[in-house]
Chains A and B, each alone.
Chain A
Amino acid sequence: MNDTKNNDLSQQMIDYIAREVIRRPGVEITEDTPLVSSGIIDSLALVNILLQLEDVMGMRIPASKVRPKDMDTVALMLATGRRMGKPRK
């Protein structure tokens, strides 16, 4: 059950990044594609992805606690959300 939910969250993030950030047909990313360190996403995209992560996980993630390396791959983003996310008020 947990694996299914995790895969679903991961797919939602991958779809969002491909659709809204990369926007190039034919470019595929996986859970482990480096995004920040490879320069695929810039500072504004990083912020948008962080906000999308909050929506997808239904949590509030304190941005002041997040390091760019915590957002380097989709897998790391989800792990960061689980570690730092707090229930929304």
Chain B
Amino acid sequence: MTNQIYHMVTILLAVLLLWVVAWNLRSVRTRQGLLLLASYLFYSTWGIEFLAVLITSSLINFGLGALLRRRPMIAYLWLGIGCNLLFLGFFKYLPPILGSPWTVSWEPDFLRYVVMPVGISFWTFQALSYLFDVYREEEINPSLLEFCLYMAFWPTVLSGPVSRLPDMLPQFRKTPVFSRDNLSIGALRIIQGLFMKLILAQLLGTGLTTGGGITAGFDQMRSGWGGVDVWLLAMGFGLQLFLDFAGYSHLVIGTARLFGIDVTENFSRPFLSATPSIFWTRWHMSLSFWIRDYVFVPLAAARRERWWPYLVFVISMTLFGLWHAAKLTFICWGFYHGLLLVAHRLGQQAKRQFGIKPPNFIGFLLAWAATFASISLGWIFFRANDLHEAFTMFRTVLSPAAYQHLAMPSSFYVLIPSLLVAYFAYEGLRTLLSRLQLRTVEVVSPAPPMMLRQGGLESSLTVLAAELCEFFAQRMWWWLTPVMFVLTLFASLAISNQSSVLTVTPFMYAIF
């Protein structure tokens, strides 16, 4: 804990120093050089050998990109894909395979010391997207310095979002202009991210009392759950992962914004999705769009049989799962989502065929509930320690007798439903406010002063409502702050009352 705090404070001070210097540099190249140096220094704090791997990958991919630009041949693209997969396979997938019980004893000893460089899955996919884009003759011509900065850009190097060079390059090249908007939006997103990640996700993981959180539910119980326990663990873990990873993404996006750089968004209210396919346009967007653009579309358009795109859905999503780690649970999670996407398409077809048209609101509610439930159940694969645990949990969910007992501490049944309700209440309020804002702006925008003078009481009230909506919507983080403060206080008190929860859960996506 002390080491983590020391690390965080050092990084914060370094960021502050870098921020002051970077804004005072007029030369774009010098600024790029400074940002690259800072990125390499930042990355090397995780291990100097990791930095060597990152630099090697950057150089190889830059060379392959130059080759592809000269002659955009499919053979060069395959060479690039092969190199990157080999790299990823050696550092990410080989160590766990060597550690598995099936491993034979003939492999050289040095392989047992291979350690996965942090963030390798993220920056390798960035390198691959660069090669695909060059092959597609996208007009991008980065210098070596710019390409290395793209690969190592310090806010995104550890855990994404997975950026694309056509989005980043123009931003690396523009002359920095200091803006108060960048500063305020960046700072607000950092605060929001810290709150989501360090308070809410942490609270869900550790619980209000010892053994009353998601971590204990998955790691200490291993069997004996009731049906309600499994549902709450699954939904609670989904929310915990969202708060942790979306919170981290806010931190990254906010930090980059402080330097005037817009990084791609990663989440957009995923739990409000009414279909699995909508969910995948809102959850870990930078990776799901990557899979869509570079795996699904090219592969699905390769054959014309009706069943082929469905098979490609399953293949793409299984790859998505495998991207996380070489573990059967992640592969099953991806496969499960592939099946969900296929089931959704087949369901849509059946609905059209039989002319089923439920009333709009009820239809939406049913679709949302089915999507939320099926996606929540999928988290069991994602979080379970092994397949045996996952299938035991699924059996519990399907067994009516399991709903007659509860196995978790009572605080668990307060914490998880409260945070789920709070999350949906917050999202509902946010949606309502933006809709009200949009509606009132539409009504008022033609001539607000005239309305005030001529329209009487009703118009005046509309203008007042519009202004109030705008005021609250734009300052959401200000009026939400007191609520957060109370929640923070509540969480801090809960955490300080127990010694077992003082171990901070590490950032979940750092392991990928």
Report A's interface with B, CB cutoff 8 A. 23, 39, 42-44, 46-47, 50-51, 63-68
Contacts and interface: CB of A to CB of B under 8 A. Distances in A.
Contacts of A44: 277, 300, 309, 313, 345
Given A42-B277, A42-B281, A66-B297, A47 B136 contact: no
B21 interface: no
Contacts of B298: 63-64, 66
Contacts of B277: 42-44
A63 B301 contact: yes
Contact of A43 (B77, B292, B304): B292
Interface of B: 74, 77, 133, 135-138, 277, 281, 292-293, 296-298, 300-302, 304, 309, 313, 345, 352
Given A43-B300, A46-B297, A64-B77, 19 more contacts: A23-B352, A42-B281, A43-B277, A43-B292, A43-B296, A43-B297, A47-B297, A47-B300, A47-B301, A50-B297, A63-B297, A63-B298, A64-B298, A65-B136, A66-B297, A66-B298, A67-B136, A67-B138, A68-B292
A64 B131 CA distance: 12
A63 B302 contact: yes
Give the interface centre of A43, A51, A64 by most chain B CB atoms within 10 Å: A43
From DSSP, what is the main secondary structure of chain A's interface residues?
A: helix
Contacts of B300: 43-44, 47, 63
A42 B298 CA distance: 14
A42 B274 CA distance: 14
A47 B305 CA distance: 12
A51 B136 contact: no
A84 to B, nearest CB: 9
Nearest to A43: B292
Contacts of A63: 297-298, 300-302
Contacts, number: 48
A68 B133 CA distance: 11
A66 B345 CA distance: 24
Given A39-B281, A42-B277, A50-B301, A68 B345 contact: no
Nearest to B312: A47
Contact of B293 (A42, A50, A51, A68): A68
10 contacts: A39-B281, A42-B277, A43-B292, A44-B309, A44-B345, A50-B297, A50-B301, A64-B135, A66-B297, A67-B138
Chain A to chain B: the 8 pairs with minimum beta-carbon distance, closest first? A63-B301, A64-B298, A47-B300, A63-B298, A43-B292, A47-B301, A50-B301, A65-B136
B101 to A, nearest CB: 38
Nearest to B289: A68
B135 A67 contact: no
A21 to B, nearest CB: 12
Contacts of B74: 64
Contact of A51 (B135, B281, B304, B352): B304
Contacts of A67: 133, 136, 138, 293
A27 to B, nearest CB: 15
A63 B308 CA distance: 15
Contacts of B136: 64-67
Nearest to A49: B301
Contacts of A42: 277, 281
A67 B298 CA distance: 10
Contacts of B345: 44
Contacts of A47: 296-297, 300-301, 309
A38 B252 CA distance: 25
Contacts of A65: 135-137
A23 B300 CA distance: 22
A65 B74 CA distance: 10
Contacts of A51: 301, 304
Contacts of B296: 43, 47
Contacts of A66: 136, 297-298, 301
Nearest to A71: B297
Contacts of B297: 43, 46-47, 50, 63, 66, 68
A38 to B, nearest CB: 12
